[in-house]
């Protein structure tokens, strides 16, 4: 297909040069026979690529290239192909992928294991391995990136998050907890603002955590709250007793905030993000009042970090180079919670459970570890599923919460109940690789409904860590 072209580099055929940098090329889309060719072979030599152990759909080869600009393409089962997920141009030889290798001493060749690089199409959606060398981010690049993100968020307001049309579901504090439980389940929402008609204002939020605490209280021996009382037990009554209950649950005598964390439509996106982070909540209601004393509130929107992250991704989509940290693999930056390596001091532990663990143990871990989700793994710590706080509302189906014992139902059975109820929408486990760039992770987290990504080892799906929306914003804002 290709004729001879300019020799802009050296392949792996032994040709020496002033400086050769080993580069790993990966074709992760399957095939029977896969070859690599490019400007560094004058488009004459087809370099065989080998399937990776444990990942027969992923082919790789390492070539030593000189610094500069190179073009390459893959020859798959007799057909020329290019990788649409890597940089490409339309050249004299058709559409070809491109790579630029800088001549700088701080560049190091990637040293990822085959397990980190390879994957099957069932493992991590849309994952690919960049053939570019990995660089370490400097303090200056980190400061520049954070300043630019902060400046962007400070210039834009919560008003820009408002959709042209939509609905926000709010609950009256005087309705029964049981009814509220069913409403959240039927509407498929994990949280709802609370309206107090006597005060004429919004006074709080009812979340999945409330139902977790309620179910735990129902399961306690000698509990004053029975299933029958849920018929008449109001949200207001529950909120009044929550502080006392919380002191017994977390053991720290921590008082839950009584005031509603909210923002106005003209508050900056940075202020909204910081309120979510500092309050450790999933959403902040956007309120507007036409009176000076703040009465006659109008609920406009429920702001989330996902929406704000989407604004960042959209703004910097065509100017990603202005944020140097975006191209850093997440394994090279202080982001998320990771399983510690042997010999490393234990930081914040990564909570994981086996599928046969009891639902009561899972709910206790969610509260004690102050996390929103727990990876469910097998005996090899390979990811099977994930249990999140919001999954608790699936127990509203057919009043399942009144028929189970938390210490007798397994996590697997609880998740199966949610699947039987068609409660879970979309892909359950959103995953990424440690070698994925921050940019790619941010784009995936900006999708609606995605609050965290489980970092896995490709091929085995062994859990290596977890990165959440909150983690990304703490890193970007330096808080």
The model's pLDDT over 359-390, given as tens digits with 9 standing for 90+, comes to 988 988 888 888 889 999 988 888 999 999 88
- Mean pLDDT of the residues in the chain: 78
Nearest-5° Cα angle at 303, 321 to 478:
45
Give dist(CA 282, CA 470) in Å, integer: 9
Q: What token pair was written down for 291? A: 């009176």
Residue 426 predicted with pLDDT over 50:
no
Q: What token pair was written down for 20? A: 């050769």
Give dist(CA 178, CA 228) in Å, integer: 10
Question: Beta strands of 273-371 (E only): which ranges?
Answer: 284-289, 297-303, 337-338
pLDDT of residue 244: 52
- Inter-axis angle of helices 235-250 and 359-368, to 10 degrees? 80
User: Who has greater pLDDT, 438 or 94?
Assistant: 438
Residue 124 predicted with pLDDT over 60:
no
Q: Read off the pLDDT band of 311 (50, 70, 90).
A: very high
Give dist(CA 114, CA 215) in Å, integer: 45
pTM higher than the cut 0.75: no
pLDDT of residue 429: 78
Give dist(CA 147, CA 187) in Å, integer: 39
What are 217-251's pLDDT values in tens digits? 766 654 545 566 667 778 888 777 665 555 444 44
203's enclosing H/E stretch is strand 201-207
Give dist(CA 412, CA 178) in Å, integer: 24
Residue 60 predicted with pLDDT over 50:
yes
Among 62-66, 123-127, 253-257, 401-405, name the most confident range.
62-66
Residue 214 predicted with pLDDT over 50:
yes
User: What is the mean predicted confidence (pLDDT) over 275-296?
Assistant: 84
Cβ pair 263, 284 in contact under 8 A: yes
User: Who has greater pLDDT, 188 or 419?
Assistant: 188
Give dist(CA 248, CA 268) in Å, integer: 37
| Phi and psi, residue 271, nearest 5° | -65, -40
274's enclosing H/E stretch is helix 269-279
Q: Read off the pLDDT band of 138 (50, 70, 90).
A: confident
Give dist(CA 143, CA 325) in Å, integer: 10
Q: What are the angstrom distances between the C-alpha of 231 and each of 69, 124, 255, 290, 314?
A: 70, 44, 27, 37, 46
Give dist(CA 209, CA 207) in Å, integer: 5
């Amino acid at each position: 297909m290709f004729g001879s072209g300019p020799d802009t580099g050296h392949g792996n055929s032994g040709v020496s040069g002033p400086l050769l940098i080993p580069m790993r090329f990966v074709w992760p889309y399957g095939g029977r026979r896969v070859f690599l060719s490019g400007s560094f072979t004058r488009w004459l030599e087809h370099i065989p690529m080998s399937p990776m152990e444990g990942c027969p759909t992923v082919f790789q080869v390492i070539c030593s290239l000189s610094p500069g600009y190179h073009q390459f393409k893959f020859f798959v089962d007799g057909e020329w192909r290019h990788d649409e997920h890597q940089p490409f141009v339309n050249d004299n030889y058709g559409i070809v992928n491109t790579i630029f290798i800088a001549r700088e001493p701080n560049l190091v060749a990637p040293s990822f294991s085959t397990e980190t690089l390879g994957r099957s199409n069932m493992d991590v959606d849309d994952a690919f391995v960049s053939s570019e060398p990995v660089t370490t981010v400097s303090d200056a690049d980190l400061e520049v990136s954070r300043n630019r993100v902060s400046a962007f968020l400070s210039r834009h307001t919560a008003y820009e998050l408002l959709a042209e049309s939509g609905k926000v579901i709010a609950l009256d504090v005087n309705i029964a907890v049981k009814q509220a439980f069913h409403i959240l389940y039927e509407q498929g929402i994990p949280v709802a603002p609370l309206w107090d008609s006597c005060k004429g204002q919004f006074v709080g939020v009812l979340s999945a955590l409330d139902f977790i605490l309620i179910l735990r209280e129902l399961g306690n021996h000698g509990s004053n709250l029975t299933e029958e009382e849920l018929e008449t037990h109001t949200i207001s009554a529950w909120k009044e007793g929550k502080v006392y209950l919380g002191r017994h649950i977390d053991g720290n005598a921590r008082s839950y905030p009584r005031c509603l964390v909210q923002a106005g439509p003209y508050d900056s996106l940075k202020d909204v993000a910081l309120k979510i982070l500092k309050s450790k909540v999933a959403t902040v209601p956007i309120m507007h009042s036409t009176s000076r004393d703040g009465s006659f509130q109008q609920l406009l929107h429920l702001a989330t970090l996902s929406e704000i992250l989407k604004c960042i991704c959209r703004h910097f989509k065509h100017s990603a180079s202005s944020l140097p940290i975006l191209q850093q693999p997440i394994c090279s930056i202080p982001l998320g919670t990771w399983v510690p390596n042997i010999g490393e001091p234990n930081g914040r532990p990564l909570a994981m459970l086996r599928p046969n663990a009891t639902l009561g143990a899972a709910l206790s871990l969610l509260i004690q570890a102050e996390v929103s989700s727990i990876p469910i793994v097998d005996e090899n710590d390979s990811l099977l599923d994930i249990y999140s706080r919001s999954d608790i509302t699936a127990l509203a189906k057919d009043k399942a919460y009144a028929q189970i014992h938390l210490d007798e139902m397994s996590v697997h059975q609880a998740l199966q109940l949610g699947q039987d109820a068609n409660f879970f929408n979309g892909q359950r486990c959103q995953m990424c690789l440690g070698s994925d760039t921050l940019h790619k992770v941010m784009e995936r987290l900006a999708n609606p409904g995605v609050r965290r990504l489980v970092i896995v080892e490709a091929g085995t799906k062994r859990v290596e860590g977890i990165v959440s929306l909150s983690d990304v914003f703490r890193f970007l804002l330096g808080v």
